Structure 1
Amino acid sequence: MPRLLTGNRLETGDVLWWAGSDWSLHLRDAVAVDDDGEALIARLAPQERINDLVLIDVDPAPDGWRPRSTRERVRAVGPSVRPDFALPSLPVDAI
């Protein structure tokens, strides 16, 4: 099962996804880290202004990835109580 690395930008709280060489605000940019995830967390955690680094389980989807947990699906698109704060390119129904 594929796994993605996610975290939050310390200054703003933005949800970020590891895109292979940098972080992205968009789940569709994320790359699977699979077995390298723990080593990547160990390497990135001390030097990044990103906190709460965690690996999540995902399923492949036609437009990228679909997090397995409801919590991570909500994190991917923005607040469920304020749709006007959602990322414009990621409608809630899409994931």
Structure 2
Amino acid sequence: MRIVTGNDLASGDVIWWTGSNWSRHVEDAVDVGEEGAVIATAQEAARLVNAPYVIDAAAAPDGPRPAHIKDRVRALGPTVRMDLTLKPGVSPEVVL
């Protein structure tokens, strides 16, 4: 399965090709097969999306799942727990 992703020109949000339009939800993405590059080029030329590209994905019950971790993060959000991140104004402890 191959899907097309890019960024919305107005907001910068990650968007996914639905077959007729763009969605902010990866589960709306459709398999573009071998037509992905043509779709990406046409949509970018029409100034409807910034930097679109085709990615591999696996079909899942709740919609496509991007194959590469970079695109999974783009689809699903950060992979870190917010309670484990550094806090502003708090020095991390150094453990030797």
* Structure 1 moving runs of 4+ over 3 Å: 79-83
Instruction: Give the deviation of 1:34 after TM superposition.
Output: 1.1
Residues matched between the structures, number: 82
Q: Unpaired runs of 5+ in structure 1?
A: 84-95
Partner residue of 2:50?
Answer: 51
Aligned CA RMSD, in angstroms, stands at 1.6
Partner residue of 2:59?
Answer: 60
More strand by proportion, 1 or 2? 1
Q: Unpaired runs of 5+ in structure 2?
A: 83-96
Q: TM-score normalized by structure 1?
A: 0.78
Q: TM-score normalized by structure 2?
A: 0.77
- Is residue 18 of structure 1 aligned with residue 23 of structure 2? no
Superposed CA deviations along residues 33-86 of structure 1, whole A, max 9, x for unmatched, are: 011111112211111231110000001111111111111001002234576xxx
Larger Rg: 2
Secondary structure of 1:21's match? coil
